[in-house]
Structure 1
């Protein structure tokens, strides 16, 4: 197997984790299986760059002297807001040559400026999805997944999702055993499915200000199989059902029912991805009661059945 060159582009005000996350994954895979990856970093002029958090990173050299990349990684950061035109030109010329073109966070903005995402489905950090869609209407922006693969181009939501995407690429290249070893070394999950939402139920809703409601939010996520009707939740919070529903929505930005629905769906997805529990068992544990009720929720929200979701997104067992 020929050694693959992973070229990571650096620029001033880059997000440090967008760089170091994927670098650690590919470097870890090289340590596990020597001769598989050569990780190279390069900046437009070959000069050190200062990240958005104040760290200084010294590249291996200038982009003009960088080797041809098997996998070209473009991180994000504040520097994507007004990028060096020379960097955009370099990406436009060299991006199509790489076997795989990868962006992390707002690195997708740089790819879009270079015309490399036109006609493709892509994602970026949730806070920048509207901007990406508005400024680049030829890009099919999906704000929900943590990463998206569209042919040879892969885009991710940023920060830790860059690690998820890099692990998926290592698994594609070298198999699950190597990817699992790297993940264990980094103390992360082997792989979150790319279509996993950028927000968990807790993050998607605001955290309530009042302690009873804040504690209730946490209790709901820990007990998805319990009676989570408005009357039961109101009693647990010590409020009347009407007062509870009004206060919950005012403080979290969503209704109790929607919060419960998202919590149960998230719990069921996690069980389908991470366990071998039967669909009926997952339905009961997640509060759906019956497999048919869970199937209706999955089809409505995800457009697929629980069985098909598991088939597509649960990692295959190690050989």
Structure 2
């Protein structure tokens, strides 16, 4: 919250400004959305993040947390209300709804009262909100994240990147789910995966990768991949591996199985890295850095209200600027339209 408080206000920024030939002076200025509804599940820290971002950006927020964290959320909002009252700020700028399905349904249909809904949580929650809401929704989608180890990849960098992306925090949306390996680098796969043993990561490998790892990775942690191994957000100490013939096949795999969240290439070949960055359709595309960096605080945003995987309005970590919209201010001097 202190990080967010220290950031400049996102409001009143002049995004565009021009004077037309007829003398009209136009300015495009950032303004709040109004009232933002946030539906989230079991992480009460979201209450602090959302409140601080919404307050700083001039928005009111309606929080709808999950039942598992309801007591924590109520304690958090109680403290926030007390502090706001002490400072003479209307405490109703933040409200917490009951942790019930009925409250969720009411929020999703609060037309004229709520301007925007942002769901945070599982793919089931996000899909439900997208289907049921009758007010605008920004999707913060599930993360099915890949790392592609190119023919030109550095093995030391790659091992560190894969390990960090997979094991730093397995239960978050930016965690690695699938490693794609260029066929010419299969001999390096044991070294690439070696650090994963310390965290007891279960690997689901295709046949070529399985043979490369057999005898070099704990047998109880090495399994053959099935069709379900790809496109799965594991949220656990589990990871799939697939061998690809070239970078085009890696990009095709990501197109088929990715969720447009965060993708990575490990490559020393700048042409390959450039191709990957241009062709992969995701909110965040990394070269020689792990997907674990997809985070509002890591991007210098102070905090995040979610990580958008859609293309309309905002994409990637959503901080203060991403929860504002704009309006046009037009100043004239009696001009009339012919």
Write 1 or 2 for the structure with the bigger share of helix: 1
- Using the size of structure 1 for normalisation, the TM-score is 0.31
Higher relative contact order (CA 8 A, sep 6+): 2
